[in-house]
């Protein structure tokens, strides 16, 4: 019996110091498959949950990108950087001496960043300006002006604080490190939250640590270390049908209906109308047949998913 080609969503715990693109490259090598994508990057400094799609499941990535995120981070008050995180060069090192960084003052600054806010992304970001990445422009010394965007920060809580002395360019300064947890909408920059809290307190600030712990219903506790050769990466792929169940309503199709939908025919079902997506799953083999909308008791395909093919067939055409 031929093995089926890799197909599914892979939950990866990205280590610090490598790019999301590098994670994708490692996954391609481990799975022997070119067709792999990701649902939103993490900065090299950041660790935590990165969602990859393999094979036909790359079609699910567009539905994963917009999911809410949860982060744990450490904000250092007293030092600002040009990237708003520890990978950047210091732009200010005023410290916290003489500034009001009491618990009440910090809470006021943090509270101002909760809810629906207009946020200017960090200058050193992957946002494109006239077709070029903002970080490329900034690193070449070009002026970068980014528009604000509306994001939602549903939770931004300080969970701990620690005062310390650090050396910046040979100068010893007093700083305060804040441990925080953030629940936010897709597109929110936690680095920018740190920057704006520092601005409100008059101290400057940047991130010294960032870890993504959840994306929608997916938790980093279920993620794998992709660089661990002892991990069976293929076995760690979450099946498309199981992913779809966690994201969408489900309509179950009997064999004849599943084939008809695959063939492009409109299938009659008993299901409330929906603009979609609804996951159409075949009862016979528990396979995700497609994402559909429902109108007047009939299914219309939004995205179809091919039946599994042998590993040899898929790999020879990978990336097509």
Give the pLDDT mean for 64-87. 95
Res. 130: pLDDT tops 70: no
Extract the runs of DSSP E, i.e. beta strands, from 216-255. Answer: 218-219, 249-253
pTM for the full predicted model: 0.89
Q: pLDDT tens digit string along 220-256?
A: 999 999 999 999 999 999 999 999 999 999 999 998 8
Question: Is residue 253 a contact partner of residue 282, using CB atoms and an 8 Å limit?
Answer: yes
Q: What is the DSSP string of 9-38?
A: EEEEEEPTTS-HHHHHHHHHHHHT-S-EEE
Least confident of 2-11, 179-188, 217-226: 2-11
Average pLDDT, the chain: 89
**Structure-block tokens of residue 134:** 């903002």
| 3-class secondary structure, 269 | coil
Separation CA 53–CA 40 (nearest Å): 11
pLDDT band at 315 (very low <50, low <70, confident <90, very high): very low
Active site residues: 43
Q: pLDDT tens digit string along 94-120?
A: 999 999 999 999 999 999 999 999 999
Separation CA 63–CA 164 (nearest Å): 43
Distances in Å between the Cα of 73 and the Cα atoms of 32, 33, 153, 158, 185 are: 34, 34, 14, 10, 16
> CB-based contacts of 2: which residues, under 8 Å, 6+ apart?
310, 311, 312
Q: Is the peptide bond before 282 cis (omega within 30 degrees of 0)?
A: no
């Amino acid at each position: 019996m031929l093995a089926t080609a890799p197909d599914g969503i892979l939950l990866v715990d990205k280590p610090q110091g490598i790019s999301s693109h590098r994670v994708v490259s490692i996954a391609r090598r481990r799975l022997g498959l070119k067709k792999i994508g990701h649902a939103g990057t993490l900065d090299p400094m950041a660790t935590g949950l990165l969602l990859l799609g393999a094979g036909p499941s790359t079609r699910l990535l567009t539905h994963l990108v917009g999911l809410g995120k949860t982060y744990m981070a450490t904000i250092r008050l007293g030092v600002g950087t040009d990237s708003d995180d520890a990978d950047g060069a210091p732009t200010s090192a005023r410290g916290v001496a003489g500034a009001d960084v009491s618990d009440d003052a910090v809470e006021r600054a943090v509270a101002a960043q909760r809810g629906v806010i207009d946020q200017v992304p960090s200058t050193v970001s992957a946002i494109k300006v006239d077709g070029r990445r903002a970080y490329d422009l900034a690193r070449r010394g070009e002026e970068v002006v980014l528009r604000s965007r509306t994001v939602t920060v549903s939770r931004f809580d300080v969970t701990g604080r620690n005062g310390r002395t650090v050396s910046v360019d040979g100068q010893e300064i007093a700083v305060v490190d804040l441990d925080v947890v953030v629940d936010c909408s897709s597109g929110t920059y936690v680095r920018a939250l740190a920057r704006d809290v520092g601005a409100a307190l008059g101290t400057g600030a940047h991130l010294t640590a960032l870890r993504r712990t959840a994306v929608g219903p997916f938790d980093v506790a279920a993620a794998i270390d992709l660089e661990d050769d002892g991990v069976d990466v293929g076995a760690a792929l979450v099946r498309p049908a199981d992913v779809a169940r966690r994201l969408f309503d489900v309509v179950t199709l009997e064999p004849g209906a599943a084939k008809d939908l695959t063939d492009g025919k409109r299938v009659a079902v008993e299901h409330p109308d929906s603009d979609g997506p609804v996951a159409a799953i075949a009862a016979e083999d528990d396979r995700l047949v497609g994402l559909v909308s429902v109108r007047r008791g009939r299914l219309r395909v939004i995205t179809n998913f091919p039946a599994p093919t042998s590993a040899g067939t898929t790999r020879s055409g990978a990336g097509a």
